[in-house]
Amino acid sequence: MKGKMTWESPSNIALVKYWGKKDNQIPCNPSLSFTLSNSITTTSCDWEVRPHSSYEFLFEGHPNEKFGSRVEKYFNSLKEELPFLNSIFLRIDTKNSFPHSAGIASSASSFSSFALILTKLEEIIEKKTFNEDSFLKRASHLARLGSGSACRSLFGPACAWENELFGTPIKAHPVFNTYKDTIVVIDQGVKAVSSSQGHALMNNHPFASNRYEMARENYKKSINFLQKGDCASLGEIMEQEALMLHGLMMSSPTPYVLMKPSTLNVITKVQNFRKEKGIPVYFTLDAGPNVHILYPQEFEGEIEKFIKDNFGNFPIIFDKVGDGPNLKDFELF
């Protein structure tokens, strides 16, 4: 039995942040995100059932040791849950639509694309029966085991990670179906402290329990604002969450700063522009220096001019909220 398939899967941007985890990729608080549209990973897989397992990993068509060893570790960790991984050849070739190290979380789009491949193989080889919902739920669970935030990339336009094991789609007000996310790439370098190290530092963090309590409150409020279409109230929470995330880094047992002077410059200008114009434009940050600027589509002309005029010396990625993954190609031989 053999075949091939190609999946496209998006990245996502958290409004309420996942920061701090327990064993088995169980988060310490619920989180909420918008699924992106243009920032995607495309992963092709050629596969064949064989007596023993062997994998080949390619990044943009070429072998990549660092990437390959993380994915191999992930596949090996799933052998008990997915027995077909003990007797299969897999050639995985993956590429991102966004520039390498552009500050977009590629682990979310990559691991969700791998999880979709694994779920499809489980359906074919293990003869598991899924409907559309249970298929995505299973893929979300498997994606979470690779990278926590990846479990939120399976559903759009908004996705909640509330029940610990997998993400669930959130019905959002129509204004959010066309919401824009423009990313000002302040620094493309590798982060001094990775997200995994950052999560670990929450274990002995003096503010951990207050943080988890606030995240739970922000999560509840955000779901309500998302459903009502209250961009301003959601934006206030989004900014508080971004600054709290970085505040947690700066106050962790081993303190560190990932923002750059230009990050603060962009943030201040976005806030001033909002006050001056009365437009609901808000920022958020991932675990890095780059700034995501979010706003309703109806203001895109004015806001994109503001962004280009003020931050045009940095690379800029124009993205928007999207629907989730797509199966692009599927063949059984």
- Binding footprint of ligand DP6 on the chain (CB under 6 A): 14, 17-19, 25, 31, 105, 107, 147-149, 195-196, 199, 245, 286-287
Minimum CB distance to ligand DP6, residue 233 (Å): 20
In degrees, to the nearest 5, what angle opens at C-alpha 152 toward C-alphas 213 and 123? 135
Minimum CB distance to ligand DP6, residue 49 (Å): 30
Q: Which CB atom, from 117 or from 258, has the smaller least distance to ligand DP6? A: 258
Minimum CB distance to ligand DP6, residue 83 (Å): 25
Q: Which CB atom, from 274 or from 320, has the smaller least distance to ligand DP6? A: 320
Closest CA to 141 of 115, 170, 159, 171: 115
Q: Which CB atom, from 10 or from 148, has the smaller least distance to ligand DP6? A: 148
Minimum CB distance to ligand DP6, residue 204 (Å): 17
Is residue 317 within 8 A of residue 104, CB to CB? The reply is yes
Q: Which CB atom, from 148 or from 235, has the smaller least distance to ligand DP6? A: 148
The C-alpha atoms of residue 99 and residue 8 are separated, in whole angstroms, by: 16
The C-alpha atoms of residue 275 and residue 284 are separated, in whole angstroms, by: 17
What number of CA atoms fall less than 13 Å from residue 107's CA on the CB side?
A: 16
Give the pair of three-digit tokens for residue 226.
């998302």
Q: Which CB atom, from 211 or from 274, has the smaller least distance to ligand DP6? A: 211
Minimum CB distance to ligand DP6, residue 239 (Å): 15
The C-alpha atoms of residue 6 and residue 150 are separated, in whole angstroms, by: 18
Which backbone phi and psi does 83 adopt, to 5 degrees?
-55, -25
The C-alpha atoms of residue 52 and residue 35 are separated, in whole angstroms, by: 37
Beta strands in 162-309 (DSSP E): 168-170, 180-184, 282-285, 291-295
Q: Which CB atom, from 199 or from 274, has the smaller least distance to ligand DP6? A: 199
Minimum CB distance to ligand DP6, residue 87 (Å): 28
